[in-house]
């Protein structure tokens, strides 16, 4: 039988009464105890950083996680919902740097790494009460009493144990990976850490000429939306089956995609030669900057790539992996992210 709800019904007050009932009757733990012989649905909270205040985005993500766990509980699974705290990483360190008025890695080393780490350890649970209050208020069922903590010896030893299992099974190998790097912090960054603080800067797109080796007065015409990455250029990418041309333009020979020549070049030009992108593979060119000291046999040549298109630019993409795994000039506009 349905009961009519009055327009002035106090929903927040109703929520508080339900939360008080759950707390008084220990409903969360009872939901686990009555299913002690049921199959497990394993859930570990993706750990928030306890020295940072919770935000509305945490409410959104936790609501989704709680929804899944409640659904699996209703299906008859035992869902223990283990809480966790992330106590490592730059968010913790930067918070302490600000407190101690330190500016960069050199100042930390001057203070003493041990002292700095001790200060970080003391700060990691600064906002734990705010987190606990939020967890309770939004009705997020989570076992906060048995939380895993990433800086505890038990957690660290468990990670090393897992790595040893991977090693014994031959699942660990040495490879190469491009990661963001913060020169101020003197450390590599995870993509999550990069996203924690950045400013957006709109940069202009530019056309750049790269001079071919052993071909006088001949240049690759390259278009990039990331001109600030040109200092780390190591290669040029072309599309294997794209049609390219060598054209005479204002006294120079330029190589670019035929479909883009009209929009990339000012004034008249004369086509001297046509070829597929795969015919350009391996051609070498001079570095943009004379101060580059490297084995040129390992850089500054043309490679083939399936992401090259003729939608815009010149059909030749500048490659600078030092700025990220996908650093190239393939987008019309690029928002630069600078870690702070």
Report percent pLDDT > 90 for the chain.
61
Q: What pLDDT was estimated at residue 242?
A: 96
252: closest CA among 286, 220, 289? 220
DSSP state of 114: H
Judge residue 206's burial from the number of C-beta atoms within 10 Å of its C-beta, 0-12 exposed, 13-18 middle, 19 or more buried: middle
**Residue 183 predicted with pLDDT over 70:** yes
Give the per-residue pLDDT at 336: 38
**pLDDT at residue number 24:** 95
> With 60 as the cut, is the pLDDT of residue 330 above it?
no
DSSP track, 234-285: -EEEE-TT-EEEEEEETTEEEEEEGGGHHHHS-S--EEEEEEEGGGGTT-BB
Of the pLDDT bands very low, low, confident and very high (cuts 50, 70, 90), residue 295 is low
Which range is least confidently modeled, 1-5, 109-113, 170-174? 1-5
Write out the DSSP string of 85-97.
Answer: EB--SHHHHHHHH
Shortest CA distance to 31 belongs to which of 76, 97, 94, 84? 76
Asked whether the beta carbons of 241 and 275 are under 8 A apart, the reply is no
pTM: 0.64
Checking if the pLDDT of 338 tops 80, the result is: no
**CB-neighbour burial class of residue 151 (10 A; exposed 0-12, middle 13-18, buried 19+):** middle
Q: Summarize the confidence of residues 127-155 as an average pLDDT.
A: 92
Instruction: Compute the half-sphere exposure of residue 38: CA atoms within 13 Å on the CB side of its CA.
Output: 18
Mean pLDDT of 220-242: 92
Closest CA to 280 of 249, 235, 324: 235
Mean local confidence (pLDDT), 96-118 = 91
Segment 29-78, tens digit of pLDDT: 999 999 999 999 999 998 888 778 898 999 999 999 999 999 999 999 99
Segment 279-296 shows an average pLDDT of 84
Task: Provide the greatest CA pair distance for the chain.
Answer: 90
Candidates 16, 274, 27; CA nearest to 133 is 16
Pairing between β-strand 243-249 and β-strand 270-276 as defined by DSSP bridges: antiparallel
User: What is the DSSP code (8-state) at residue 285?
Assistant: B
Read off the pLDDT of residues 68-98 as tens digits, 9 standing for 90 and up. Answer: 999 999 999 999 999 999 888 777 888 899 8
Whether residue 172 is predicted with pLDDT greater than 60 in this model: the reply is yes
What is the pLDDT, as a whole number, of residue 44? 93
Domains of the chain: 11-87+124-174 (3.40.50.620), 202-339 (3.90.740.10)
Upper half-sphere CA count for residue 7 (Cβ side, 13 Å) = 0
Averaged pLDDT score across all residues of the chain: 87
Is the pLDDT confidence value at 301 over 80? yes
């Amino acid at each position: 039988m349905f009961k009519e709800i009055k327009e002035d019904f106090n929903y927040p007050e109703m929520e508080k009464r339900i939360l008080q009932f759950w707390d008084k009757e220990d409903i969360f733990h009872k939901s686990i105890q009555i299913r002690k012989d049921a199959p497990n649905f394993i859930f570990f909270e993706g750990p928030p950083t306890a020295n940072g205040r919770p935000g509305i985005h945490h409410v959104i993500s936790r609501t989704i996680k709680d929804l899944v766990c409640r659904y699996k509980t209703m299906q008859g699974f035992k869902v223990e919902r283990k809480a966790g705290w992330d106590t490592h990483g730059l968010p913790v360190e930067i918070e302490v740097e600000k407190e101690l008025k330190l500016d960069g890695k050199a100042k930390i080393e001057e203070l003493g790494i041990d002292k700095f780490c001790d200060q970080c350890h003391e700060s990691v649970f600064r906002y734990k009460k705010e987190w606990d209050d939020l967890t309770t208020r939004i009705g997020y069922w989570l076992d906060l009493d048995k939380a895993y903590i990433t800086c505890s010896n038990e957690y660290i030893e468990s990670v090393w144990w897992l790595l040893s299992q991977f090693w014994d099974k031959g699942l660990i190998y040495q490879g190469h990976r491009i990661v963001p790097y913060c020169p101020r912090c003197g450390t590599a960054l995870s993509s999550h850490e990069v996203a924690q603080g950045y400013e957006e800067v709109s940069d202009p797109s530019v056309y750049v000429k790269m001079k071919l080796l052993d071909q006088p007065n001949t240049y690759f015409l390259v278009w990039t939306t990331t001109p600030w990455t040109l200092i780390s250029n190591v290669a040029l990418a072309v599309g294997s089956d794209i049609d390219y041309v060598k054209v005479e333009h204002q006294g120079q020979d330029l190589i670019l995609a035929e479909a883009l020549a009209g929009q990339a070049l000012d004034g008249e030009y004369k086509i001297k030669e046509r070829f597929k992108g795969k015919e350009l593979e391996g051609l070498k060119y001079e570095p943009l900057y004379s101060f580059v000291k490297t084995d040129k046999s390992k850089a500054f040549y043309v490679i083939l790539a399936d992401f090259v298109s003729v939608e815009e630019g010149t059909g030749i993409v500048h490659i600078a992996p030092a700025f990220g795994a996908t650093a190239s000039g393939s987008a019309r506009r690029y928002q630069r992210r600078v870690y702070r």
